Amino acid sequence: MKQQLQNIELMAKAELEKISDLAELENLRIKILGKKGELTAILKQMSALTAEERPVIGQLANKVRQDIEADIADKAAQLKAALAQKKLQAEKIDVTLPGKKPSVGKLHPINAVLNEVKEIFLGMGFDIAEGPEVEYDYYNFEALNLPPDHPARDTQDTFYVTDNVLLRTQTSGVQVHVMENKKPPIRIIAPGRVYRSDAVDATHSPIFHQIEALVVDKGITMADLVGTLDMLMKRLYGDDCKIRLRPHHFPFTEPSAEVDVLCFNCGGKGCSMCKGEGYVELLGAGMVHPKVLKNCGIDPEVYSGFAFGLGLERIVMRKYGINDMRLLYENDMRFLEQF
Ligand code: PHE
């Protein structure tokens, strides 16, 4: 029996050497020290021993058990330490790696310039008005002195929802909404999206943006119109900026003008950008037609006003020297990130 006990101890030591994980170790412990284990099996034979042998073997058996338990505990500690080490290695972070750069959003150039224009007008005491993009024929055309068979309608074809409801072709209809709801003095701008049946090219898009301006009060003259436009353009493009008015026709203003701005590219000498003109067309303007005032319940004998409508895209393109309008709608980050 003594021999058997010593064999178990030797066997245990040999097995322990080979073990490489905690589960195997637990199996070994059960195999030797468990209720049905090898050591237990030997101890069961103790009853066959003589009274003298029993304490000797008993003592030895205890010692063997304690030794094996201690060895197993050592091994367990070793394995746990190795495991922790391995985990630490795997979780190691490299603090010298470059960080993740957060991408910061910013305003689209159209919105950035729109905000700038709004600020300029707010500074001149204007309010900001809004009107519907899906509009009645009456507001988009008829009240603006464009009856159903007026030839000028042809240049502003659009999508008709019904015979008298359409996608607005201009922000000028907001003039009518404002004048119907508010009596002079009126000083508003109305920025917004407009729609026309135009083919897409470098300077045309079926959806674009206009900013309408309307001032109605006693004694408003063409000089107020020119002064306001001059101020706007100087604020937008710098003090060297010059504007030029050319006679034109709009059914809802009289007199009417097209307003050009000195070509930022050549400074007036004439280049490909301004097609040799020295000026580029920016907007339509004029004195509000007496009929339009009357349509809105404002007495043209007492009040007068001016209005203009500028294409926001044109302003953005002039400001940044963009030569193709499509770039503003394509959402190509390589383009947008430049602003
Ligand atoms: N609504 C006109 C256009 O789209 C511009 C305009 C506005 C002209 C106001 C005169 C007065 O062409």
* 97: in domain: no
Asked if residue 76 and residue 174 are part of one domain, the reply reads: no
Mean pLDDT of 203-219: 96
Asked if residue 161 and residue 84 are part of one domain, the reply reads: no
* 300: in domain: yes
pLDDT at 126 over 80: yes
pLDDT at 265 over 80: no
Question: Where does a domain end: 55, 90, 125?
Answer: 90
Asked if residue 227 and residue 156 are part of one domain, the reply reads: yes
CA 258–ligand 1 middle distance (angstroms): 9
pLDDT of 63-103, one tens digit each?
888 888 888 888 888 888 888 888 888 888 888 888 888 88
Asked if residue 120 and residue 12 are part of one domain, the reply reads: no
| CB of 170 shorter than 6 A to ligand 1 | yes
Contact 251, 290 (CB under 8 A): no
Rounded to whole angstroms, the Cα distance separating 86 from 250 reads 82
pLDDT at 264 over 80: no
Cα 42 → chain centroid: 78
- Rounded-to-5 percentages of helix, strand, coil across the chain: 45, 20, 35
- Average pLDDT for the chain: 91
CATH number of 239's domain: 3.30.930.10
Asked if residue 285 and residue 156 are part of one domain, the reply reads: yes
Q: Which atom of ligand 1 is nearest to the CA of 213?
A: 9
Provide the domain limits for residue 11: 2-90
Q: Probe ligand 1: pick from 176, 245, 250, max atoms within 8 Å of CB?
A: 250
pLDDT at 111 over 90: yes
CA-nearest of 174, 189, 164, 162 to 133 is 174
pLDDT of 289-318, one tens digit each?
999 999 999 999 999 999 999 999 999 998
CA-nearest of 231, 255, 248 to 283 is 248
* 289: in domain: yes
Asked if residue 171 and residue 247 are part of one domain, the reply reads: yes
When divided into structural domains, the chain yields a total of: 2
CA 284–ligand 1 middle distance (angstroms): 5
Asked if residue 128 and residue 16 are part of one domain, the reply reads: no
Asked if residue 194 and residue 293 are part of one domain, the reply reads: yes
Mean pLDDT of 197-206: 90
Cα 155 to Cα 152, 256, 280: the distances in Å are 6, 17, 20
Q: What angle do CA 41, 47, 52 make, to 5 degrees?
A: 120
Question: Where does a domain end: 90, 118, 147?
Answer: 90
Higher pLDDT, residue 215 or 237: 215
CA 172–ligand 1 middle distance (angstroms): 6
At residue 54, the pLDDT reads 82
| CB of 307 shorter than 6 A to ligand 1 | yes
CA-nearest of 177, 136, 173, 169 to 311 is 169
* 102: in domain: no
* 292: in domain: yes
pLDDT of 156-189, one tens digit each?
999 999 999 999 999 999 999 999 999 999 999 9
Question: Where does a domain end: 90, 123, 155?
Answer: 90
Asked if residue 292 and residue 248 are part of one domain, the reply reads: yes
* 103: in domain: no
CA 192–ligand 1 middle distance (angstroms): 13
| CB of 285 shorter than 6 A to ligand 1 | yes
Mean pLDDT of 329-333: 93
Picking from 40-49, 59-68, 286-295, which range would have the lowest pLDDT averaged per residue? 40-49
19: confidence class by pLDDT, cuts 50, 70, 90:
confident
222: confidence class by pLDDT, cuts 50, 70, 90:
very high
Q: Burial letters for 44-62: b for 16+ Cβ neighbours within 10 Å, e otherwise?
A: eeeeeeeeeeeeebeeebe
pLDDT at 20 over 90: no
Give 148-152's long-range contacts (Cβ < 8 A, gap of 24+): 150/251, 152/250, 152/251
Asked if residue 311 and residue 210 are part of one domain, the reply reads: yes
Mean pLDDT of 13-20: 84
Asked if residue 170 and residue 213 are part of one domain, the reply reads: yes
Contact 285, 208 (CB under 8 A): no
Asked if residue 143 and residue 274 are part of one domain, the reply reads: yes
* 286: in domain: yes
pLDDT at 208 over 90: yes
Higher pLDDT, residue 78 or 232: 232
* 100: in domain: no
Give the residue whose CA is nearest to atom 10 of ligand 1: 285
